Structure 1
Amino acid sequence: MKDKGFFKKFGEYALYIILAIGLAFVCKSYVFARADVIGPSMQPTFNDKDIIFMEKISTETGHINRGEVVVFNSHDENGDNYIKRVIGIAGDRIGIKSGKVYLNGKVLTENYLPEEVVTEGNSAAAEYIVPKGYVFVLGDNRENSTDSRIIGPVNLKDVKGHVILRVYPFKNMNYFK
Protein backbone atom coordinates (compact mmCIF):
# COMPACT_ATOMS: atom_id res chain seq x y z
CA MET A 1 0.00 0.00 0.00
CA LYS A 2 2.83 2.39 0.76
CA ASP A 3 4.21 1.90 -2.75
CA LYS A 4 0.92 3.00 -4.34
CA GLY A 5 0.97 6.25 -2.38
CA PHE A 6 4.58 6.86 -3.29
CA PHE A 7 3.98 6.33 -7.02
CA LYS A 8 0.86 8.49 -6.94
CA LYS A 9 2.77 11.37 -5.27
CA PHE A 10 5.71 10.86 -7.62
CA GLY A 11 3.36 11.04 -10.63
CA GLU A 12 1.77 14.25 -9.34
CA TYR A 13 5.16 15.90 -8.79
CA ALA A 14 6.37 14.77 -12.22
CA LEU A 15 3.26 16.32 -13.79
CA TYR A 16 3.86 19.63 -11.97
CA ILE A 17 7.49 19.68 -13.07
CA ILE A 18 6.55 18.99 -16.70
CA LEU A 19 3.89 21.73 -16.60
CA ALA A 20 6.36 24.21 -15.06
CA ILE A 21 8.98 23.44 -17.72
CA GLY A 22 6.36 23.78 -20.46
CA LEU A 23 5.15 27.11 -19.08
CA ALA A 24 8.73 28.39 -18.81
CA PHE A 25 9.39 27.37 -22.42
CA VAL A 26 6.25 29.14 -23.65
CA CYS A 27 7.13 32.29 -21.67
CA LYS A 28 10.70 32.36 -22.99
CA SER A 29 9.61 31.70 -26.57
CA TYR A 30 6.59 33.99 -26.80
CA VAL A 31 6.40 36.35 -23.82
CA PHE A 32 9.72 37.39 -22.18
CA ALA A 33 13.42 36.97 -22.89
CA ARG A 34 16.69 38.11 -21.37
CA ALA A 35 19.42 39.83 -23.38
CA ASP A 36 22.85 41.28 -22.68
CA VAL A 37 23.90 44.66 -24.04
CA ILE A 38 27.22 44.39 -25.86
CA GLY A 39 29.02 47.56 -26.88
CA PRO A 40 28.48 51.30 -26.49
CA SER A 41 25.93 52.02 -29.28
CA MET A 42 23.05 52.78 -26.89
CA GLN A 43 24.93 54.97 -24.39
CA PRO A 44 23.87 56.83 -22.31
CA THR A 45 20.61 54.81 -22.06
CA PHE A 46 22.31 51.39 -21.88
CA ASN A 47 25.93 50.50 -21.26
CA ASP A 48 28.09 47.54 -22.21
CA LYS A 49 27.23 44.49 -20.06
CA ASP A 50 23.81 45.77 -18.97
CA ILE A 51 21.29 42.94 -18.61
CA ILE A 52 17.83 43.62 -19.95
CA PHE A 53 14.51 41.86 -20.34
CA MET A 54 12.29 42.30 -23.34
CA GLU A 55 8.67 41.46 -23.99
CA LYS A 56 7.92 39.62 -27.21
CA ILE A 57 4.15 39.92 -27.53
CA SER A 58 4.26 43.29 -29.32
CA THR A 59 6.66 41.86 -31.89
CA GLU A 60 4.41 38.84 -32.45
CA THR A 61 1.51 41.21 -33.16
CA GLY A 62 3.68 43.64 -35.17
CA HIS A 63 2.85 46.49 -32.80
CA ILE A 64 6.05 48.51 -32.32
CA ASN A 65 5.92 52.20 -31.35
CA ARG A 66 8.25 55.11 -31.99
CA GLY A 67 10.64 55.66 -29.09
CA GLU A 68 10.69 52.01 -27.97
CA VAL A 69 14.02 50.25 -27.67
CA VAL A 70 14.08 46.97 -29.58
CA VAL A 71 16.40 44.02 -30.03
CA PHE A 72 16.67 42.61 -33.54
CA ASN A 73 18.66 40.18 -35.67
CA SER A 74 21.23 42.25 -37.55
CA HIS A 75 21.95 39.57 -40.18
CA ASP A 76 25.62 40.52 -39.93
CA GLU A 77 28.37 37.96 -40.50
CA ASN A 78 28.35 37.01 -36.78
CA GLY A 79 24.56 36.73 -36.49
CA ASP A 80 24.57 39.41 -33.78
CA ASN A 81 21.47 40.90 -32.22
CA TYR A 82 21.47 44.70 -32.07
CA ILE A 83 19.68 46.95 -29.60
CA LYS A 84 18.42 50.29 -30.97
CA ARG A 85 15.66 52.85 -30.56
CA VAL A 86 12.73 52.97 -33.00
CA ILE A 87 12.63 56.40 -34.64
CA GLY A 88 10.19 55.72 -37.47
CA ILE A 89 7.45 53.24 -38.34
CA ALA A 90 5.88 52.32 -41.69
CA GLY A 91 5.11 55.36 -43.81
CA ASP A 92 7.27 57.78 -41.79
CA ARG A 93 9.71 60.08 -43.55
CA ILE A 94 12.99 60.40 -41.62
CA GLY A 95 15.37 63.22 -42.46
CA ILE A 96 18.78 63.89 -41.00
CA LYS A 97 20.26 67.33 -41.58
CA SER A 98 22.24 69.93 -39.67
CA GLY A 99 22.85 67.39 -36.89
CA LYS A 100 19.13 66.90 -36.18
CA VAL A 101 16.64 64.12 -36.86
CA TYR A 102 13.40 65.09 -38.59
CA LEU A 103 10.27 62.94 -38.36
CA ASN A 104 7.72 63.72 -41.08
CA GLY A 105 9.20 67.19 -41.57
CA LYS A 106 9.43 68.21 -37.90
CA VAL A 107 12.48 68.15 -35.64
CA LEU A 108 12.26 65.07 -33.45
CA THR A 109 12.34 65.80 -29.71
CA GLU A 110 14.76 63.28 -28.21
CA ASN A 111 14.70 63.85 -24.44
CA TYR A 112 16.64 60.61 -23.90
CA LEU A 113 19.78 62.15 -25.48
CA PRO A 114 22.15 64.75 -24.06
CA GLU A 115 21.60 68.17 -25.69
CA GLU A 116 25.01 68.20 -27.37
CA VAL A 117 24.38 65.03 -29.42
CA VAL A 118 24.74 65.54 -33.15
CA THR A 119 23.21 63.06 -35.60
CA GLU A 120 24.99 62.70 -38.93
CA GLY A 121 23.26 61.09 -41.88
CA ASN A 122 24.74 58.54 -44.22
CA SER A 123 26.36 60.41 -47.09
CA ALA A 124 24.39 58.27 -49.55
CA ALA A 125 20.98 59.40 -48.29
CA ALA A 126 19.76 62.15 -46.00
CA GLU A 127 16.09 61.17 -46.16
CA TYR A 128 14.52 57.78 -45.63
CA ILE A 129 10.95 56.57 -46.15
CA VAL A 130 10.10 53.63 -43.90
CA PRO A 131 8.44 50.84 -45.93
CA LYS A 132 5.46 48.83 -44.69
CA GLY A 133 6.57 46.01 -42.37
CA TYR A 134 9.75 47.84 -41.31
CA VAL A 135 11.01 50.26 -38.65
CA PHE A 136 13.81 52.84 -38.78
CA VAL A 137 16.17 52.56 -35.79
CA LEU A 138 19.03 54.63 -34.37
CA GLY A 139 21.43 53.97 -31.54
CA ASP A 140 21.43 56.60 -28.79
CA ASN A 141 25.23 56.91 -29.18
CA ARG A 142 24.89 58.46 -32.63
CA GLU A 143 28.63 58.70 -33.26
CA ASN A 144 29.20 54.98 -32.58
CA SER A 145 26.19 53.03 -33.81
CA THR A 146 25.52 50.68 -36.69
CA ASP A 147 21.86 51.47 -37.29
CA SER A 148 19.36 52.24 -40.07
CA ARG A 149 21.61 54.97 -41.43
CA ILE A 150 23.96 52.14 -42.45
CA ILE A 151 21.95 48.91 -42.58
CA GLY A 152 18.65 50.42 -43.74
CA PRO A 153 15.23 49.86 -42.19
CA VAL A 154 14.72 46.78 -40.02
CA ASN A 155 12.15 44.17 -40.98
CA LEU A 156 9.57 43.68 -38.21
CA LYS A 157 10.06 39.92 -38.62
CA ASP A 158 13.65 40.37 -37.39
CA VAL A 159 12.62 42.21 -34.20
CA LYS A 160 13.01 39.84 -31.26
CA GLY A 161 11.46 42.03 -28.59
CA HIS A 162 10.99 45.45 -27.05
CA VAL A 163 13.01 46.29 -23.95
CA ILE A 164 10.93 46.72 -20.81
CA LEU A 165 13.40 46.28 -17.95
CA ARG A 166 17.08 46.71 -17.12
CA VAL A 167 17.93 44.43 -14.20
CA TYR A 168 21.72 44.82 -14.05
CA PRO A 169 23.59 46.71 -12.83
CA PHE A 170 21.24 46.74 -9.87
CA LYS A 171 21.86 50.42 -9.11
CA ASN A 172 20.55 51.26 -12.60
CA MET A 173 17.52 48.97 -12.53
CA ASN A 174 14.82 50.67 -14.56
CA TYR A 175 11.48 50.05 -16.29
CA PHE A 176 11.04 51.18 -19.91
CA LYS A 177 7.80 51.79 -21.81
Structure 2
Amino acid sequence: MKKNKKTTNSSYTKDLLIACLCVLLLLLIVSLIRFKGTRVQGYAMMPALHNGDLVVAKRTKQPKRFDLIVFKIGEKQQVRRVIGLPDETIQYNKDLLLVNGKPVDEKFIVDEINESQYNGKNYTENFFSGELNGSKTIPKGYCLVLGDNRPYATDSRHYGLIATRNIIGVIKIRLLPVNDLTGF
Protein backbone atom coordinates (compact mmCIF):
# COMPACT_ATOMS: atom_id res chain seq x y z
CA MET A 1 0.00 0.00 0.00
CA LYS A 2 1.36 3.43 -0.96
CA LYS A 3 1.50 6.25 1.58
CA ASN A 4 -0.07 9.46 0.59
CA LYS A 5 2.60 12.20 0.05
CA LYS A 6 0.41 14.70 1.92
CA THR A 7 0.24 12.41 4.98
CA THR A 8 4.03 11.95 4.95
CA ASN A 9 4.65 15.72 4.79
CA SER A 10 2.11 16.33 7.55
CA SER A 11 3.76 13.70 9.76
CA TYR A 12 7.21 15.18 9.07
CA THR A 13 5.97 18.70 9.92
CA LYS A 14 4.36 17.44 13.13
CA ASP A 15 7.59 15.64 14.17
CA LEU A 16 9.66 18.73 13.36
CA LEU A 17 7.33 20.95 15.40
CA ILE A 18 7.50 18.57 18.39
CA ALA A 19 11.30 18.45 18.16
CA CYS A 20 11.50 22.27 18.04
CA LEU A 21 9.20 22.58 21.06
CA CYS A 22 11.32 20.06 22.99
CA VAL A 23 14.50 22.02 22.18
CA LEU A 24 12.84 25.28 23.26
CA LEU A 25 11.65 23.68 26.50
CA LEU A 26 15.14 22.34 27.18
CA LEU A 27 16.67 25.77 26.51
CA LEU A 28 14.14 27.37 28.86
CA ILE A 29 14.96 24.89 31.64
CA VAL A 30 18.72 25.40 31.19
CA SER A 31 18.33 29.19 31.19
CA LEU A 32 16.26 29.07 34.39
CA ILE A 33 18.98 27.00 36.04
CA ARG A 34 21.88 29.19 34.83
CA PHE A 35 20.26 32.64 34.93
CA LYS A 36 18.09 34.66 37.31
CA GLY A 37 15.99 37.68 36.46
CA THR A 38 15.44 40.35 39.11
CA ARG A 39 14.22 43.93 39.42
CA VAL A 40 16.48 46.65 40.79
CA GLN A 41 14.95 48.21 43.90
CA GLY A 42 15.92 51.70 44.95
CA TYR A 43 18.45 54.23 43.73
CA ALA A 44 21.70 52.84 45.20
CA MET A 45 23.07 51.79 41.79
CA MET A 46 22.48 54.99 39.86
CA PRO A 47 23.72 55.95 37.31
CA ALA A 48 24.42 52.37 36.11
CA LEU A 49 21.01 50.97 37.07
CA HIS A 50 17.73 52.63 38.03
CA ASN A 51 14.80 51.70 40.24
CA GLY A 52 12.61 49.16 38.44
CA ASP A 53 15.18 48.05 35.84
CA LEU A 54 14.90 44.35 34.96
CA VAL A 55 18.31 42.67 34.95
CA VAL A 56 19.46 39.11 34.27
CA ALA A 57 22.23 37.57 36.34
CA LYS A 58 24.30 34.51 35.51
CA ARG A 59 24.34 32.24 38.53
CA THR A 60 27.82 32.14 40.07
CA LYS A 61 29.47 32.54 43.46
CA GLN A 62 32.77 33.82 41.99
CA PRO A 63 32.45 37.51 41.11
CA LYS A 64 35.33 39.70 39.95
CA ARG A 65 36.11 43.26 40.99
CA PHE A 66 33.54 45.76 39.71
CA ASP A 67 31.01 43.06 38.74
CA LEU A 68 27.41 44.01 39.45
CA ILE A 69 25.94 41.24 41.58
CA VAL A 70 22.57 40.14 42.93
CA PHE A 71 22.76 38.77 46.47
CA LYS A 72 20.56 37.98 49.44
CA ILE A 73 20.69 40.09 52.55
CA GLY A 74 18.15 38.69 54.98
CA GLU A 75 15.02 37.95 52.96
CA LYS A 76 15.70 40.68 50.39
CA GLN A 77 17.66 40.63 47.16
CA GLN A 78 19.94 43.55 46.43
CA VAL A 79 22.13 44.68 43.55
CA ARG A 80 25.53 46.21 44.31
CA ARG A 81 29.03 46.42 42.82
CA VAL A 82 31.89 44.21 44.05
CA ILE A 83 34.78 46.38 45.23
CA GLY A 84 36.82 44.09 47.49
CA LEU A 85 37.65 40.40 47.17
CA PRO A 86 39.06 37.83 49.64
CA ASP A 87 42.58 38.48 50.97
CA GLU A 88 42.45 42.15 49.97
CA THR A 89 42.64 45.33 52.01
CA ILE A 90 40.31 48.05 50.75
CA GLN A 91 40.67 51.69 51.65
CA TYR A 92 39.12 54.91 50.41
CA ASN A 93 41.04 58.13 50.90
CA LYS A 94 39.69 61.32 49.33
CA ASP A 95 37.70 59.34 46.72
CA LEU A 96 40.70 57.23 45.76
CA LEU A 97 40.16 53.46 45.93
CA LEU A 98 43.23 51.66 47.25
CA VAL A 99 43.41 47.88 46.88
CA ASN A 100 46.27 46.49 48.96
CA GLY A 101 47.68 50.02 49.01
CA LYS A 102 47.63 50.49 45.22
CA PRO A 103 45.27 52.96 43.49
CA VAL A 104 42.52 51.51 41.28
CA ASP A 105 40.35 53.66 38.98
CA GLU A 106 36.58 53.49 39.26
CA LYS A 107 35.75 54.58 35.71
CA PHE A 108 32.04 53.90 36.15
CA ILE A 109 31.62 56.85 38.59
CA VAL A 110 34.28 59.31 37.38
CA ASP A 111 31.72 62.04 36.60
CA GLU A 112 30.10 61.72 40.03
CA ILE A 113 33.49 61.86 41.80
CA ASN A 114 34.54 64.94 39.80
CA GLU A 115 31.27 66.74 40.54
CA SER A 116 31.53 66.00 44.29
CA GLN A 117 35.12 67.15 44.43
CA TYR A 118 34.21 70.30 42.50
CA ASN A 119 31.66 70.98 45.26
CA GLY A 120 34.30 70.35 47.95
CA LYS A 121 32.97 66.94 49.05
CA ASN A 122 34.04 63.32 48.83
CA TYR A 123 31.77 61.04 46.79
CA THR A 124 32.88 58.03 48.85
CA GLU A 125 33.49 58.59 52.55
CA ASN A 126 36.98 57.68 53.72
CA PHE A 127 37.02 54.20 55.22
CA PHE A 128 39.09 51.06 55.67
CA SER A 129 37.79 47.51 55.13
CA GLY A 130 39.25 46.50 58.51
CA GLU A 131 36.56 48.64 60.15
CA LEU A 132 33.92 46.24 58.78
CA ASN A 133 35.20 42.95 60.19
CA GLY A 134 38.03 43.74 62.59
CA SER A 135 40.56 42.04 60.31
CA LYS A 136 43.06 43.78 58.08
CA THR A 137 42.02 41.80 54.99
CA ILE A 138 38.69 40.55 53.67
CA PRO A 139 38.38 36.90 54.75
CA LYS A 140 37.93 34.00 52.32
CA GLY A 141 34.30 33.48 51.38
CA TYR A 142 33.42 37.18 51.60
CA CYS A 143 33.45 40.31 49.46
CA LEU A 144 32.90 44.02 49.97
CA VAL A 145 30.12 45.63 47.93
CA LEU A 146 29.19 49.27 47.41
CA GLY A 147 26.39 51.04 45.60
CA ASP A 148 27.43 53.33 42.75
CA ASN A 149 25.31 56.13 44.26
CA ARG A 150 27.68 56.24 47.25
CA PRO A 151 26.22 59.16 49.23
CA TYR A 152 22.79 57.47 49.36
CA ALA A 153 23.53 53.75 49.08
CA THR A 154 23.13 51.20 51.85
CA ASP A 155 25.92 48.68 51.31
CA SER A 156 28.86 46.93 53.04
CA ARG A 157 29.61 50.14 54.92
CA HIS A 158 26.29 49.59 56.73
CA TYR A 159 25.66 45.83 56.82
CA GLY A 160 29.21 44.48 56.58
CA LEU A 161 30.85 42.08 54.17
CA ILE A 162 28.76 39.79 51.95
CA ALA A 163 29.23 36.03 52.21
CA THR A 164 29.82 34.57 48.74
CA ARG A 165 27.27 31.85 49.58
CA ASN A 166 24.64 34.63 49.52
CA ILE A 167 25.55 35.72 45.99
CA ILE A 168 22.90 34.73 43.47
CA GLY A 169 24.78 35.81 40.37
CA VAL A 170 26.64 38.38 38.30
CA ILE A 171 24.48 40.73 36.23
CA LYS A 172 25.06 40.24 32.51
CA ILE A 173 22.31 42.33 30.91
CA ARG A 174 19.63 44.93 31.58
CA LEU A 175 16.48 43.87 29.70
CA LEU A 176 14.08 46.61 30.73
CA PRO A 177 13.52 49.34 29.95
CA VAL A 178 13.98 48.20 26.35
CA ASN A 179 15.30 51.61 25.27
CA ASP A 180 18.17 51.14 27.76
CA LEU A 181 19.14 47.54 26.91
CA THR A 182 22.71 47.16 28.19
CA GLY A 183 25.25 44.36 28.52
CA PHE A 184 27.67 44.31 31.46
TM-score range normalised by the length of the shorter chain: 0.7 to 0.9
Supply the distance in 2 between the matched residues of 1:50 and 1:146 (Cα, whole angstroms): 18
> Is the 1:100–1:107 contact (alpha carbons within 8 Å) kept by the matching residues of 2?
yes
How many residue pairs get matched? 166
CA RMSD, 1 decimal: 2.9
Residue ranges of structure 2 left out of the alignment (5+ in a row): 1-12, 117-121
The reply to whether residue 38 of structure 1 matches residue 34 of structure 2 is no
Query: CA offset at residue 13 of structure 1?
Result: 7.4
The reply to whether residue 90 of structure 1 matches residue 86 of structure 2 is yes
> Is the 2:89–2:136 contact (alpha carbons within 8 Å) kept by the matching residues of 1?
yes
Which residue does 1:27 correspond to in 2? 31
Moved more, 95-104 or 36-45: 95-104
What secondary structure sits across from 1:47 in the alignment?
coil
Which residue does 1:111 correspond to in 2? 107
Greater fraction helix: 2
Deviations for 1:68-100, whole angstroms, at most 9, x for unmatched residues? 10000011xxx1111011111111101123343
Percent identical pairs in the alignment equals 26
> Is the 1:42–1:84 contact (alpha carbons within 8 Å) kept by the matching residues of 2?
yes
The reply to whether residue 70 of structure 1 matches residue 64 of structure 2 is no
- Relative to the length of structure 2, the TM-score reads 0.75
Larger Rg: 2
Alpha-carbon spacing, 1:18–1:128, altered in 2? closer, same or farther (3 Å)? farther
Residue ranges of structure 1 left out of the alignment (5+ in a row): 1-8
Supply the distance in 2 between the matched residues of 1:171 and 1:16 (Cα, whole angstroms): 30
Moved over 6 A (4+): 9-16
The reply to whether residue 125 of structure 1 matches residue 131 of structure 2 is yes
- Relative to the length of structure 1, the TM-score reads 0.77
